[in-house]
Amino acid sequence: MRLRAAHVRVRVPATSANLGPGFDALGLALGLHDEIEVRALGAPGVRVEVHGEGAGSVPDDETHLVVRALRAALDHVGAPQTGLHLVCRNRVPHGRGLGSSAAAVVGGILAARGLVEPGALDDDVALALATQFEGHPDNAAPALLGGLTVAWSDDATGDVAPVRAARLEVHRDLAPVAVVPPGHLSTHAARGVLPARVPHADAAWQAGRAALLVEALGRRPDLLLPATQDRLHQGYRREVMPASLALVDALRAQGVAAVVSGAGPTVLVLARRAPGSQDGTDADAAVADAFGGVMAGWRVLRLPVDATGAEVTTLLD
Ligand X SMILES: N[C@@H](CCOP(=O)(O)O)C(=O)O
Ligand Y SMILES: Nc1ncnc2c1ncn2[C@@H]1O[C@H](COP(=O)(O)OP(=O)(O)O)[C@@H](O)[C@H]1O
As a whole number of angstroms, the distance between CA 112 and CA 125 comes to 12
Q: Which of 33, 76, 233, 273 binds ligand X (CB under 6 A)?
A: 233
289: left (phi > 0), else alpha (psi -120 to 50), else beta? alpha
Task: Return the percent helix, strand and coil in the chain, to nearest 5.
Answer: 35, 30, 40
**Counting contacts by CB under 6 A, is residue 262 touching ligand Y?**
yes
CA dist 301 and 181 (Å) reads 11
Using CA atoms, how far apart are residues 285 and 253, in angstroms rounded to an integer?
13
234 binds ligand X (CB under 6 A): no
| Listed ranges 16-24, 202-210, 217-225, 241-249: which one lies at the site for ligand X (CB under 6 A) | 16-24
Residue from 25, 29, 79, 88 binding ligand Y (CB under 6 A): 88
Compose the 219-258 pattern: x for residues touching ligand Y by CB under 6 A, - for all others. Answer: ----------------------------------------
Which has the closest alpha carbon to 283: 183, 194, 179, 184? 179
Residue 58 is a binding residue for ligand Y (CB under 6 A): yes
Return the DSSP state at 93: P
Q: Is-contact 31 13, C-beta < 8 A?
A: yes
302 annotated binding-site participant? no
Strand-strand pairing, 46-52 and 83-90: parallel
- Does 90 participate in binding ligand Y (rule CB under 6 A)? yes
Gap between the Cα atoms of 126 and 107, Å rounded: 10
Instruction: Select the binding partner of residue 186 from ligand X, ligand Y, none (C-beta < 5 to 8 A, by kind).
Output: ligand Y
- Which of 18, 187, 206, 281 is in the footprint of ligand Y by CB under 6 A? 187
Q: What does the per-residue mask of binding to ligand X show for 189-228, with x meaning CB under 6 A?
A: -xx-------------------------------------
Asked whether residue 93 is marked as a ligand-binding residue, the answer is: yes
Rounded to 5°, angle at Cα 284 from 283 and 285: 95
How far apart (Å, rounded) are the C-alpha atoms in residues 129 and 160? 7
Q: Is the dihedral of CA 114, 119, 121, 127 positive or negative?
A: positive
By the rule CB under 6 A, 132 interacts with ligand Y: no
**CB-wise, 56 or 276, nearer to ligand Y?**
56
Does residue 14 have a known ligand-binding role? Answer: no
CA 147 distance to own-chain centroid: 11
The binder of ligand X chosen from 90, 187, 206, 234 (CB under 6 A):
187
Say whether residue 131 binds ligand Y (CB under 6 A).
no
Is position 149 an interface residue for ligand X (rule: CB under 6 A)?
A: no
Neighbours of 278 (CB within 10 A): 6
Compute the distance between CA of residue 228 and CA of residue 211 in angstroms, rounded to an integer: 10
Q: Contacts with ligand X in 73-132 (CB under 6 A)? A: 97-99, 101
Does residue number 34 form part of the binding site for ligand X (CB under 6 A)? no
- Residues at the annotated binding site for ATP? 93-103
Q: Which residues bind ligand X (CB under 6 A)?
A: 17-18, 23-24, 97-99, 101, 136, 138-139, 187, 190-191, 233, 262-263
Residues that bind ligand Y (CB under 6 A): 34, 54, 58, 64-66, 88, 90, 94-101, 104, 186-187, 262-263
